[in-house]
Structure 1
Amino acid sequence: MKELRYRQVHLDFHTSEYIPEVAQEFDPDKFVNTLKKANINSITCFARCHHGWLYYPSKNAPELIHPNLVNRNLLLEQIEACHKNNIKVPIYTTVQWDGHIAKTHPQWLAVDEKGEFINSQNVPKPHFYYTICLNSGYREYFKEHLQDIIDTVGIENIDGFFMDILFKVDCNCKYCVDKMSKLGFDPQVKHERIEYSTVMLDEFKKEITQFIKDRVPNAGIFYNSSHIGPNNKKSLEDYTHLELESLPSGGWGYDHFPATVRYARNLGKDILGMTGKFHTYWGDFHSLKNKAALEFECFNMLALGAGCSIGDQLHPSGKLSEAAYELIGSVYEKVKEKEAYCIDAKPIPEIAVFTPEEFYSFRDHDLGIPPALIGAVRMLQELSYQFDVIDSSFDFNKYKLLILPDDINFSHELENKIIKYVENGGKVIGTYKSLLNQGSKISSLYGISCEKESDYYRDFILPNEIIGKDLYKEEYVMYLRGMDIKAQEAEVLMHSVEPYFNREGEKFCSHQHTPSSGKLGYPAVTRKNNVIYFSHPIFRIYRKNSAIWCKLIMKDAIELLLKDKLISHSGPSTIITALNTQVNENRDILHVLHYITEKRSEDIYIIEDSIPLYDIEFKIYVGDKNIKTVKSVPRGESIEFHKVDKYVVFNISKIEGHSTISIEY
């Protein structure tokens, strides 16, 4: 799968044995014509589903072909029809969920400390969510299954494999306990069992990748865990590309994709984003996502350096939904028009944000996206900064400014690396506990000392003409406890203010916290040369309460350090911008998105409306480059511009959803 297609559908087909006449209405010509009309150039189709059934004429396990599958050549006919029309067909198979295996080979299932089967989704019966242990005899079973697909489909017909459901799990089965003991892990300690499970997953992926490459050398290979983060780096060589499953309405939310893709796009692999056409989650039959939502999700993938994949589920009849593919086609028509300006485009970042996820321990297990990271991503997007998410192994010198949000663990190695970066002209903003060696005399990075957390669970900040210059010059509450610091070798840019007392014991005042006493407390913001430190967890507060004063004081700090901001505009903070470059085309591409996310329902955030904006001015830093033209794409309409110092300045007359601007040199 050498060429990653940008208009993919992931076609689920998890089909119960209690449904009759499966695939009776499948017609390969109608199937492929629907895909072509919808501008689809890659579709992931099923060899085996979570129920455990096969959808091809298996040579090795014909008894596992879906008992009611009318057309036993379903997968073969899907591939043949698509290949005749230059549509790729990666092959899907499940790994750690299989309802049939759970019933027939319970000895292969992962078990908890009590010997109970592990239901990783906590869904009541009936379900297929019992997790299979990859240390069991199932591993050989899975390789035999892959060989069966290869033998039946044919090497020349295989574009790739999408292998689904590979999760770390606290397995206590005899296979894992034995292997843990041999490798020096203590099977009696939970976090060691979880750590071992990641070792086992990496071992499994390496073995399976080699198995596939020996047989189908050019096949695409991807293992899906519904997330991509620092832990994936250990087995990255076993993937040919990345696919980032992130259905905003399906539990991931609208924060997951931008926080994750900004990290994943720097791992050296081509990447697809994956959402769904469903209103909610996978398997939401006969529902359609709002068109504005699907547009935003796909266009945001393009803006952030990824191709597009939209999840659907084929009806058991084998017939595609006309409505679903009219919806998908309407979005992919626009993707098709714009993808020439997206393929091989690289982001132009000015800031790097460290991910606290790097420092999750196996004691933490599944904490999800760090709240501090979500707060930082939201804040920087709203301020129109261009940024990557990184870990401590990245090259810092690509960035003008490093941000350490709230919870970056201290190590002398990382501190020394950042100090060297600062000595070479780099700028740093740290917040709360990030890289703070509590109890040490003086932080070499920040020029402060810290003995403890603040005595007050809520205190206040007092803005001034340096930090908080656009705020009223009176106290603002900070909703989470800060760090009680002393400025030793740093100047104080802003003070905290103490409340009268905490709400505890017999003392309380009104409904929430006690108001300001007017007494200045510890420094809230300090500066040592090109390093600024905030003593409060600014980003977690922003994630929790979206307090605009947190965003504005951070904006002031960034502006103190970062000159020549890449993008400025006259529009609202609901605009999302992304600036990418296509070096070979000698042009930069500006993406501007404006969609409104709302919590209209009890369960999910939705996007229903795209509210147009008019006459928005943009200033893009271009340095000494000579601008040949600025134009909207794909229409190719020229946009008037002028150069002011090192900026190109122009107006976009109308932004309706997604605008793409080519700045050509």
Structure 2
Amino acid sequence: MSELKYRQVHLDFHTSEYIPNVGSDFDAEEFVETLKVASVDSITCFARCHHGWLYYPSKNRPDLIHPNIYNKNLLLEQIDVCHKNDIKVPIYTTVQWDAYVMEHHPEWLSIDENGEYINSQGVPAPHFYYTICLNSGYRQYLKEHLQDIIDVVGSERIDGFFLDILFKVDCHCENCFEQMHLKGLNTAIKKDRVAYSLIMLDEFRAEISAFINERVPSAGVFYNSSHIGPTAKKSLESFSHLELESLPSGGWGYDHFPATMRYSRNLGKDIIGMTGKFHTYWGDFHSLKNKAALEFECFNMLALGAACSIGDQLHPNGKLSEAAYDLIGHVYGRVKAVEEYCRNTTTISEIGVLTPEEFYIPGEPNPGIHPALIGAVRMLQELSYQFDIIDSQMDFDKYKVIVLPDVIDYIPRLEQKLEEYTKRGGKVIGTYESLIDKNNAVSKLYGNEYIGDSSYDRDFVLPNDTIGKDLYKEEYVMYVKGAEIESLTSKVLMQTVKPYFNREGKTFCSHQHAPSSKEFGCPAVTKNEHVIYFSHPIFTLYRKNSPAWCKAMMKDAIEHLLDHKLVQHNGPSTLLTSLREKTDSNAKVLHALHYITEKRSADIYTIEDVIPLHQIELKVFIGDANVKSVKVIPELTPLQFDVKDNYVTITIDKIEGHFMLLIE
């Protein structure tokens, strides 16, 4: 991470040919002065946009230079003035969206089973969203374009390439089908077609990275697909680093970044988070994100181990917005002050949560970030646990507890890996259908027999002094159907309670479900040595309805398994914490964030107000380490602290937005 710039801007410049005087107000010194005042240390600038136009003096395709550009040297001047001021300038080019290619080379476009062009965004015309097939003559076109950039800009002036828009596509073109036949894949099966699309993207990235590295060995290379998941692992060698595009107000939502970042930070690559200054989505000219929202999005990147990138779009006249860079500068001034305590740090986690995304089948519908994973991330964040999102190939021994949220497929090798993990002292929490072999209903791991779906659409759980110990000792409804199980070698920690009946046929009661019949049903929670199992899809349920009793049940289960918790506090569940460790010392860095997302509009969630917290007690597990000092970052003001029972305890007078501590 030390080589990454932490205060980046991604400067879009998708500019229609129907706009005159493009770049006419660009002034290099004014441009760079605006960036410097805003504490920007890297800015991605455009060689070519989605409209297909070029913003540099192309030798290979001068006909594609934007027809109304005022200054053909725009990109070159952006690079030169930024380099003189120690600001990096990665070069942007588009890959699979290009309006010029759409119009002039329709033979290069991906087609569906009806021979229609594939519009992956579903946006009506006019647009530039027909997806280009990378198995076509376009691949050579792109190489020639990259070579042209290198020839014109010069390899010594190139910091890196940001290659945008690489998506898997169910393409039915002759080239794809020919390659599928060569690989023994069935063109009549959608799963095979989409699987081939992923293979082809991996091959493409490897080929283009080799092409770039041969010519500009020091260049950074990143391919943007708007998400990073398990499928990225096969082509990681093609990336110099990772960038995680996630604009909460632009369709990703506030659940995408934490779930995806907690996974991608385990892939062994430096990583940059990316949001936008826009109130909504890319291309939202003359809008500003709420200051509190941009603060949270950037500070959460730091807390979870990423550098920062903020998306902007340059006005066609080439002049940066004063308001936008006042906003960006407000956030980046604070990032600049603390970034040295974010560099060279590693995550400290106590829990690993398996991602359902690993088990998605290519070509079949999938929910993106699965509701079960969203529920797990929300619940664990609200409970102040330190956790990663992992896949089944990763090292389980880094974690005290492994969580299998609701829908993790049954795989014998995963079951065996977890059994071996528990023999070494590891703990497991499984829920609902995770790791349930429906062909052999007896689970040695859980100590239960799986009978099938519950007979009841909604049933109830009855808290006790082990699970739900802080709840009233009466029934609580579970809004999503669970599984019916029978305890074999496990101990029952919580019972379900049956309703009188389902709401079906002639039976119904009141407005929703029937009340409790007071008759016990099957177990709701069991424990088999180091393994706790919930028969309900408790994380999906929490994502759907957010019942506090489900979070209380999970809290009790984790506390039942964990000897200690890494971070504790007496604040509200909206206070998020992240614990990291400096790699060049044993100092710990604690991030605390308090920003509350709201849906004040029909379309988007955002954050507007920063609500301070007062007299917050933070406790950090330190084991037998000797604490020398606790200081506030970045001022390094020393704080009083107490050490007792392997915890250091600090009381913070005020947390307003983002707060950082250095524990030496």
Band of TM-score, shorter chain: over 0.9
Q: 2: CA distance between counterparts of 1:375 and 1:285?
A: 34
Q: Tell me whether 1:242 sits opposite 2:264 in the alignment.
A: no
- Kindly state the Cα deviation for residue 442 of structure 1 after the two structures are TM-superposed: 2.2
Q: CA deviation at 1:392?
A: 0.3
1:437: how far off?
A: 1.1
Distance 2:298 2:392 in 1: 30
Q: C-alpha offsets along residues 421-450 of structure 1, whole Å, 9 cap, x if unaligned? A: 000000000000111112425211000000
Q: Give 1:63's aligned residue.
A: 63
Number of residue equivalences: 664
Alignment of 1:295-314 (within 5 A): 295-314=295-314
Deviations 1:357-409 (A, max 9, x none): 00011142452101111000000000000000000001100100100000111
Equivalent residue, structure 2, for 1:623:
623
CA distance in 2: counterparts of 1:598 and 1:483, whole angstroms:
34
User: 1 CA distance for matches of 2:247 and 2:366?
Assistant: 18
Matched residue, 1:464: 464
**Paired residues for 1:65-464 under 5 Å:** 65-464=65-464
Amino acid at match of 2:421: Y
Kindly state the Cα deviation for residue 505 of structure 1 after the two structures are TM-superposed.
2.0
Counterpart AA for 1:435:
L
Partner of 1:481: 481
Q: Alignment partner of 1:254: what SS? A: coil
How far the C-alpha of 1:331 sits from its partner, in A, is: 0.3
Alignment of 1:552 with 2:538, yes or no, is no
Q: Does 1:576 align with 2:576?
A: yes
After TM superposition, the runs of 4+ consecutive aligned structure 1 residues lying more than 3 A away are none
Secondary structure at 2:254's aligned position in 1? helix
| 8 Å Cα contact 1:8/1:309 also seen in 2 | yes
- Amino acid across the alignment from 1:122: G
Please, which moves more after superposition, 494-503 or 600-609?
494-503
The answer to whether the 8 Å contact 1:439/1:451 transfers is no
Q: 1:430-477: CA deviations, max 9, x gaps?
A: 000111112425211000000211111111111111100111111111
- What is the CA distance between 1:183 and its match in structure 2? 1.1
3-state secondary structure, aligned to 2:637: coil
Secondary structure in 1 matching 2:374:
helix
Q: Is the 8 A contact 2:193 2:363 kept in 1?
A: no
Equivalences for residues 654-665 of structure 1 within 5 A:
654-664=654-664
2:587 and 2:84 map into 1 onto residues whose CA distance is 35
The RMSD of aligned alpha carbons is: 0.9
Q: Kindly indicate whether the alpha-carbon contact (under 8 Å) linking 2:2 and 2:344 is maintained by their aligned counterparts in 1.
A: no
* CA contact 1:439–1:449 (8 Å) conserved in 2: no
> Are the equivalent residues in 1 in contact too, given 2:2–2:343 (CA < 8 A)?
no
1:50-82, CA deviations, whole angstroms, 9 ceiling, x for partnerless residues?
000000000000000000011000000000000
Matched, 1:651 2:659: no
- Match for residue 20 of structure 1? 20
Are the counterparts in 2 of residues 439 and 450 from structure 1 also a CA contact under 8 Å? no
Kindly provide the CA deviation profile for residues 322-373 of structure 1, in whole angstroms up to 9, marking residues without a partner as x: 0000100010000000000001111100010000100011142452101111
**Which residues of 2 match residues 46-57 of structure 1 at below 5 A?**
46-57=46-57
The CA distance in 2 between the partners of 1:13 and 1:564, in whole Å, is 51
Structure 2 unpaired stretches of 5+ = none
SS at match of 1:585: coil
Counterpart residue identity of residue 631, structure 2: K
Q: Aligned partners of 1:148 and 1:499: how far apart in 2? A: 71
Indicate conservation of the 8 Å contact 1:2/1:218, yes or no.
no
Distance 1:90 1:153 in 2: 12
1:211 counterpart SS class: helix
Measure the CA separation in 1 of the matches of 2:176 and 2:56: 33
Shift of 1:2: 8.5
Equivalent residues of 1:112, 1:118 under 8 A apart = yes
Q: Which amino acid aligns with 1:134?
A: L
Q: Pick closer, same or farther for the CA change 1:2–1:595 going to 2, 3 Å.
A: closer
Residue identity opposite 1:192 in structure 2: D
Partner Cα distance (1:396, 1:5) in 2: 31
1-side partners of 2:439 and 2:164: how far apart? 46
Alpha-carbon distance, 1:171 to partner: 0.6
Partner Cα distance (2:431, 2:286) in 1: 46
CA deviations on 1:237-283 (whole Å, 9 max, x unpaired) are 10000000000000000000000000000100000000000000000
In structure 2, C-alpha distance between the alignment counterparts of 1:352 and 1:595, rounded to whole Å: 25
Q: Secondary structure at the match of 2:533?
A: strand
The normalised TM-score by structure 2 is: 0.99
CA contact (8 A) 2:110 2:172 kept: yes
2 CA distance for matches of 1:365 and 1:306?
A: 30
How many angstroms apart in 2 are the aligned matches of 1:400 and 1:198? Answer: 34
How many Å separate the matches in 1 of 2:508 and 2:439? 31
CA distance in 2, matches of 1:549, 1:437: 29
Does residue 608 of structure 1 match 2:608?
yes
